[in-house]
Homo-oligomer: A and B are copies of this chain.
């Protein structure tokens, strides 16, 4: 889940120590200007736009922004920065959730949104090659005549480079997987300024270490992605959406788990709790019953989809599900999913002018009902509005808090609620983040989750980026 900006309020100071900023070496900006001209920008507004967080993290200004237009621009930036010991933080749509692109150590914010070309579409191979600044909606627009689509959908219209870097997933990961499954290969600029290609265009390979998946999810700390080969999927013959409200959160979750156990290949399945439905109704002017609700999407042949719907309807009925409102009209479907995508804005704006904090955990499916119901009970002990929504087929859910910036104690309260949520997920053998990444916000929990494995990660980081210049301070401290 990645979001657009929820409100124009000033973000509050994040609960993280101020980073060590080194002043830029003498003459460094002049050297950059000589190489990049107008593509180097140092104005306050541009720097602020590249240092702000989508959620509750304090703005941290980069010293300058470079707008890369080519792999060579990235290589030259890397070489100039390495020579000067200046950090580089890759930047896409800026829709990450955990402060993943905040320049905590200053340096250069390397904006890749001008690298937005679709380089190649190979329809017969179900793949395409794109630059990292291509956004997912534009990619699907570009593909519309090929009969193929790129399924990963984190909500926001993120750049594909950013999605690869945070190992994003979203509403239809239950059917199509996450960015680790969608990315077939990468072109990457390494901290020593080399351009490597991690894989050929074959659909699978057993040739050496899986560098593709080492860079996917590395949040720009090991290399800068400059091209991406993506796996595409045929647009299903039939797509139908359905909405079903339940008496209880548990009934909704059990329905999904049982449907998956029956082998139903759900295209998407999202849970929204009662308060989230109220928020969506207000924000998107809808009139769903304010109950725990599932949003489904079914993909397949006409007969196949009809079969899936029948089966899921029967399972839902056995779990306290109400009427099954379904549609295969594209305009109704897009209204439904637009409402889902705006759920974050809807939730944050339960209070006008509020600051949003979005967190995500993922647990084994068998523990999901328990995790969600315990979390809802814990959230209900607080007066701060919060909603639960998520990708229930993956065991992945989000909590969105609507924080009053005028009441500083609320931030501490949300911190405590978030800590208890993550501890609950870890105790159920889950993860502290299903799809947002570690960034700044989940570093403590990464250690709790994976222990000594984090030492192995540090070893990799030190080996590949010995000067610690690529998005330093993210995922872990060295």
Contact A199 B431, beta carbon cutoff 8 Å: yes
Quote the shortest CB–CB distance from A282 to chain B (angstroms).
30
Residue A204, interface by CB 8 Å: yes
Which residue, A217, A218, A236, has most C-beta atoms of chain B within 10 A? A217
Does A211 lie within 8 Å of B456, measured CB to CB? yes
Q: Are B210 and A456 in contact (CB under 8 A)?
A: no
Q: Is the CB–CB distance between B434 and A200 below 8 Å?
A: no
Does A366 make an interface contact (CB < 8 A)? yes
Task: Tell me the chain A residues, 172-195 only, with Cβ under 8 Å from chain B.
Answer: 173, 177-178, 180-181, 190, 194-195
Bound-state Cα–Cα, A211 to B147, Å? 35
Distance between Cα atoms of A160 and B442 in the complex (Å): 33
Whether, in the assembled complex, A436 has its beta carbon less than 8 Å from a beta carbon of chain B, the answer is yes
Q: Given the known A-B contacts A196-B453, A200-B449, A456-B190, are A208 and B476 also in contact in the complex, defined by CB atoms under 8 Å?
A: yes
Is the contact region of chain A dominated by helix, strand, or loop, or is it mixed? loop
Interface string of A128-154 (1 = CB under 8 A from B): 000000000000000000010000000
Complex CA distance for A260 and B232, rounded to whole angstroms: 12
Asked whether, in the complex, the Cβ of A210 is within 8 Å of the Cβ of B213, the reply is yes
Query: Copy number in this complex?
Result: 2
A181 CA to B180 CA, complexed, in Å: 9
Classify chain A's interface size. Answer: 35 or more
Least CB distance, A418 to chain B, in whole angstroms? 15
**Interface of A with B (CB < 8 Å)?**
122, 124-127, 147, 166-169, 173, 177-178, 180-181, 190, 194-211, 213-214, 216-218, 222, 234, 236-237, 257, 260-263, 265, 300-301, 303-304, 307, 362-366, 394-396, 426, 429-438, 442, 445-446, 449-457, 459-460, 462-464, 475-476
Given contacts A195-B452, A202-B362, A206-B437, 17 further A-B contacts (CB under 8 A): A122-B364, A126-B261, A194-B455, A200-B430, A202-B429, A202-B434, A206-B434, A207-B431, A207-B450, A209-B457, A213-B213, A213-B214, A214-B214, A234-B263, A303-B304, A456-B464, A463-B463
